[in-house]
Structures are given as C-alpha cells and as structure tokens.
Amino acid sequence: MQFGIFSVADITPDPTTGAVPTERERIRGVVEKAKLAEEVGLDVFAVGEHHNPPFVTSSPTTTLGFVAAKTERLLLSTATTLITTNDPVKIAEDYAMLQHLADGRVDLVMGRGNTGPVYPWFGQDIRQGIELAVENYHLLRRLWTEDVVDWEGEFRTPLQRFTSTPRPLDGVPPFVWHGSIRSPQIAEQAAYYGDGFFHNNIFWPIRHTKQMVEFYRQRFEHYGHGTADQAIVGLGGQFFARERSQDAVREFRPYFDNAPVYGHGPSMEDFTRETPLTVGSPDQVIERYLAMRDHVGDYQRQLFLVDHAGLPHKTAMEQIEILGTKIVPVLRRELDALRPAHVPDAPTHASLVAARDAALAAEGEQPYSDAYRFGTGDNWTGLTAEGGEQARRQAALRELREQRRLAGSAAGRETAAREAAEKGNGHE
C-alpha cells in the first residue's frame, strides 16, 4: 500500500503568532516537505492545483519537476489536475515531459477542483463541468496512446494530424486517478476506463465515502476490469499528532478554530468524530486509519494533508517525521497483512510497462521500441515509414483490446447513467 502527503500550499496566517509566510517561503517549504517525505520512508508526494489566492500551487508540473531533481524514489502526483479548465493537449505534453524527467515516477489525479470562478478565468462554463471532464479526458487518453490524432469535439478547436510531444515514457502514459468528492459521474468515468478512483474525503463523513467507493467498485466490475475488490482506490486524510493526545489537542485547537476551510463551524470534537481528521497520539491515528479498511475495503493509497491551517513550517515537518517513523510503518504492516493476494497494489510505471509487454507477447506482437519514429527537418507532423507501421499495428491492437474489453459497454453506460440518476440524491 502507498502512503504519502499532499499539499495545497495555502498561505494562511498562524493564528497563534499572526505570522504570514511569503510566497517564496511557502513554495520552498513545499519542496522541503517533499524531500523529508522521501527521507522518512513515505511513497507519494502530491500537490494541488489552484489559480487564486491564498494558494501558490498554480503550476504543479513545475513544482514536481523541481522535486524530481531533489529526490530519487518518491512517486510524484497531484492532489488535483484540473481536467476541466486545462487544455488536454497541454496536460498530455506537461505530464509526459515530467515522466521523462522523473524516470517514470509520476501519476496524477484528475479533478474538477472546488473553485467555481476558475471556469470563466479559463474560458469555460461551470455548468458544463461534467461534460468537460468527460470529453477532455477522452482526448487526453488518445493523445497519450495514439501517435497522430485527428479530433473534433465540443469544447476545443479541432486537431488535424496532431502529435503530442514528448511521447509518454516507454510508450506508457502516467496512471490516472479520477478525484471526486460527490459526483457519481466521475466515479463512473474512472470505472469505465479501469482507472483509479481517489476520494479526498477530508471534509466528509465516512458513510458518504463508503457510498462513493462502493459505487465505483460496482461499476469497475461491471466494465470487466476485475472483481469489485480489485478496483484501485485512494483516500485522503488529515491528522495532528503528539506523543500525548492532550498535547496534540491543545496545540492544534487554535489552528482548527481559525482555519479558513473549517474554522468557526463545528467543534474540533464534532469534526474529528464525523471526518477523517484525527487529533491525538500516533496510536490513535493508527487505530483510526486501520479502521478505514472496514468501511471501504482494501485500498491502495492513503494521502495525508499535513501543512494546512497556518501551521508553521517547523510544525508541519515534525508531523511528516511522526507520520513516516511512527504511524506509517504500523499501518503498512497491518494493512498489507490483511490484504488478500488477489487485490493488486497501486499501479506504477514499472508495473504498467510490464503489463504492456506481457500483452504484446501474448498477442504475438513485436516488443515495444522507443526508437524515434518521426520525420525530421520540417515543421509538420510525420511518422517515418517504419515507425508509422509500428504505430498503426499498436493502435489497431489497442483498439481490438478495447473492443473486447468493453463489448456491450454502450448498454452499460446507459445503465450507469440511469443508476447514477437514481442514486443522485444519495451521492449528492
């Protein structure tokens, strides 16, 4: 199981001192937290995407590219990549570039975000958020899996013989998680493609998380990707820990009470009872997150938010140290021991490459070659004859697999839409 941290890099005053970090301090602090995450044995570091104050995470790939140069093992991801307001062409290019720079240590969470005004800022209509997510992701997949793409859709200008560069590392795109808190349509999308589903449930009761994950698992099995318990699930979380629980409660309370995201609302006790926020000793955090499996089944990734609400950089670093040395080793040991053998790990670049190579061998196809297969010397896309034939064979093979895997999927999608509508009230 993968464990890690994520940051949205908010600039929030420290309610105990009034200190406000500069943008530079906050950005450099995010990098230091990522480096420490690797040092203490965590698996994943993720950063969100926002385009408004008080956040400074407008360019995740720039941040993660810098982190890649400072780390060796850490898997780099996003808490959200805005599939609705980013151009799929730019997403395809940026994350393939990051793949190459990070030697494959990249995946990403696609989401619609939680800031309504971002839609008009980037020329889109929030009322079409779901439609944008569906169409843009379909195009993104094609840009990553087809060397030359002809495209015409509703939300962007057409593409004619377009090649996204660089091509994905080893011919395998980054693994995608679809992130949603309350939209069953996004869980449906994740299930349809056999991708991961990430429920960042940090503000939601576990009963809602359970409902969303169960819906995704059912649809994952419906589309023939495996049994429901083999679906790829990730959860968000947050904690504040000290050796003595009373010290944790005393220290964190002013940050909770004044935090822009949940301050001046429910009490900290009510919030920790209803949501994954856990304030106490390391043992209490361990007990709380071991219990997540009882609600959502065996899952593959657990990320924690640790640097929010104006917590000083030093304090956040202490929390990462506690997470990596006292909490995660126990969670990893206990949860891995409970997981059945048929439930997979979270995909990595290495595992995806191995699966692709096995599929090519099973079909009697030539092994994948990363030899450059495009014409040079002009300003127009063109495959070389040899590379073009290989690309056509591989595209045809992908299409055949897709047809076999999703036979009858049109009827399945109609069923899914009907079920989503019927369950809409339950999923909010």
pLDDT grade for 142, boundaries at 50, 70 and 90: very high
Mean pLDDT of 397-423: 52
Q: Name which of 33-37, 91-95, 304-308 the model is least confident about.
A: 304-308
Structure tokens at 355: 């699966």
Average pLDDT of 362-373?
92
Tens-place pLDDT, residues 66-108: 999 999 999 999 999 999 999 999 999 999 999 999 999 999 9
Which of 112, 114, 106 shows the shortest CA–CA distance to 46? Answer: 106
Residue 260 has pLDDT above 90, yes or no: no
pLDDT at 375: 74
Backbone angles phi, psi at 300, to 5 degrees: -105, -20
Higher pLDDT: 36 or 413? It is 36
Note the pLDDT of residue 426. 38
Residue 59: partners with Cβ closer than 8 Å, 6 or more residues away: none
User: How many whole angstroms separate alpha carbon 301 and alpha carbon 311?
Assistant: 24
> Average pLDDT, whole number, for the chain?
90
pLDDT at 349 over 60: yes
CA distance 343 to 336: 10
Exposure string over 79-100, b if 16+ CB within 10 A, otherwise e: bbbbbbbbbbbebbbbbbbbbe
DSSP 107-143: EEEEE--S-TTHHHHTT--GGGHHHHHHHHHHHHHHH
In angstroms, rounded to a whole number, what is the distance separating the alpha carbons of residues 131 and 124? Answer: 11
Tokens of 123: 């020329």
* Residue 424: pLDDT over 50: no
Contact 194, 223 (CB under 8 A): yes
Selection from 277, 285, 324 nearest residue 305 by Cα? 277
Residue 263 has pLDDT above 80, yes or no: no
CATH code that applies to domain 2-338 = 3.20.20.30
With 90 as the cut, is the pLDDT of residue 406 above it? no
Both tokens assigned to 190: 């994740």
Apex 360 CA angle, 358 and 364, nearest 5: 115
Give yes or no for residue 350 having a pLDDT over 60. yes
pLDDT at 421: 42
Nearest CA to 420 out of 177, 218, 224, 196 is that of 218
Backbone angles phi, psi at 46, to 5 degrees: -130, 150
Neighbours of 420 (CB within 10 A): 17
Q: Which of the four pLDDT bands, split at 50, 70 and 90, describes residue 165? A: very high
Least confident of 89-93, 99-103, 111-115, 150-154: 111-115
Least confident of 323-332, 340-349, 417-426: 417-426
Percent of the chain with pLDDT strictly greater than 70: 88
Instruction: Give the residue among 217, 190, 193 at the shortest CA–CA distance from 110.
Output: 190
333-361 average pLDDT score = 97
Domain limits of the chain? Answer: 2-338, 369-427
Tens-digit pLDDT profile for residues 396-405: 666 666 655 5
**Confidence band, pLDDT 50/70/90 cuts, at residue 410:** very low
Give the mean pLDDT of 146-153: 95
pLDDT of residue 400: 61
